[in-house]
Amino acid sequence: MRDPIERVRDMLDAISAIERYLDRGHDEFEKDELLQGWFVLNLQILGEAAKGLPESVRALAPEIPWHKIVGMRNVLVHGYFEIDTEIVWRTAIQEMPALRPSLERLLERIEGEENQ
C-alpha cells in the first residue's frame, strides 16, 4: 500500500505527464486517440491517488477539490463509454496548472511532518 507521500508524488507525476503534451494544443488532442487516452489515464491516476489519501491528509489542503478529483476518476473508470473529451481537455488545461502548487505545498508539509 502506498503512503501519503507516495500518493501525492503520484499526483504530481500525473500532472507532469499531462503537461508534457499540452503544447500540442486542442486540435491535435481532438484528433489523436492516443493523446486522449494518455490524458484520461493520468487523470485516473490522479484521482486514484487522491482517493487513497487519508482524510487527515486531505484536510491539510482544503483548497484542493478532493471530491471533484475523485468524482472525475470515478466517471473515467466506470463511465468510460461516456467520456467527454472536451471536459478532459478543459480539466487538463485549466485545472492541472492550478492544482500543482497546492499539491507541492501539501507534499512539503507532510514530508516535513514525517521528518520530525
- Helix (H) or strand (E) holding 88, with range, is helix 85-90
In sequence order, the 6+-apart residues with CB closer than 8 A to the CB of 37 are none
**Of residues 58, 67, 78, 109, which has the active-site annotation?**
78
Residue 92 is placed in which grid cell?
A: 487538463
Helices (H), 20-65: 25-31, 33-51, 55-58
Q: Is 26 a catalytic residue?
A: no
Q: What is the DSSP letter of 20?
A: T
Give the span between the Cα atoms of 113 and 116, in whole angstroms: 5
Choose the catalytic residue: 26, 67, 73, 109.
73
Q: State yes or no: is 9 an active-site residue.
A: no
Active site residues: 73, 78
